[in-house]
Amino acid sequence: MKGVLDLLVIVLCLVLGAALWWAMLDLPSSRIHLAEQVAAKLDASGVTHPVTAVLLNFRGYDTLIEVMVLFVALIGMLTQAEKGSQWLSAGYRPPPLPAPPFHLEVLQWLARVLVPLMILTAGYLLWAGAHRAGGAFQAAALLAGAGVLLNLAGLLPAWTTFRAGMRAGSITGLLFFVLAAAATAAAPHGHLLQYPAGWAGMLILLIETGLTLSLGLILAGFFLLLSAEASDGSDTEE
């Protein structure tokens, strides 16, 4: 019975795949040329890279809601942790990091060399986003990656609490973004996230800086909060 059902699923997937391929091979060329529309308005966006212009100006509300989604996911993770397990409970002290085994020494050396460079590169990516590939999300991913690398090398303990400072840090970028959105919507003749002429470049840079810090913290939290539970999973509840 189960074998028949599995086979049915595979056959249905193949049929759907064939239909998708056929649809794509037969697709007429689009009559809306978004790339041209973006290029036509690029001068007004405050940045010279089209992807950054779309992300933070033309479709800034998408990015605003995306950051909210990230924040909601973090809150969801924290609520999952708070009941039952000792993870994240107040007063719980993580066990001290064990002395690193020999095979980690190379990784630790590498992490010590790489992490400062990663932070430097994150700053560069944030700045470069205005005129070439880069921006807040790439920079934040790099910052979070630095945190993960430090954790895996045994240099940074997992986060067993999400302290007030971290909570504040992880919301700052979103708050500033919401504030900018509210200010632009409330301005006379203003629309949501329609930056006043001449201010767009500065506002985008400020929003992206806030987002880099907050998203770096949130993305690192996704890993470091989960790995906290793994490390104390061995002491079972009685």
Partner 1 sequence: MTSALIYALTGAALFLIGVAGLILQPHLLRKIIGFNIMASGIFLVLVGLGQREGSVDPVSQAMVLTGIVVSVAATALALALARRLLDLTGKMRLPGSGEGMPGKKPDA
**Using rule CB under 8 A, residue 172 touches partner 1:** no
**Using rule CB under 8 A, residue 234 touches partner 1:** no
**Using rule CB under 8 A, residue 62 touches partner 1:** yes
Residue 159 CA: distances (Å) to CA of 62, 68, 162, 191: 30, 22, 7, 40
Identify which of residues 16 and 202 has a Cβ nearer to partner 1 in the complex: 16
Q: How far is the CB of 36 from partner 1 (least distance, A)?
A: 8
**Using rule CB under 8 A, residue 219 touches partner 1:** yes
**Using rule CB under 8 A, residue 63 touches partner 1:** yes
Size of the site for partner 1 (CB under 8 A): 48
With CB under 8 A as the contact rule, the residue among 1, 3, 4, 35 that binds partner 1 is: 35
Q: How far is the CB of 188 from partner 1 (least distance, A)?
A: 29
Q: How far is the CB of 77 from partner 1 (least distance, A)?
A: 4
Residues that bind partner 1 (CB under 8 A): 6, 9-10, 13-14, 16-17, 20-21, 24-25, 27, 29-30, 34-35, 38, 50-51, 53-55, 58-59, 62-63, 66, 69-70, 73-74, 76-77, 80-81, 84-85, 135, 137, 141, 215, 218-219, 222-223, 225-226, 229
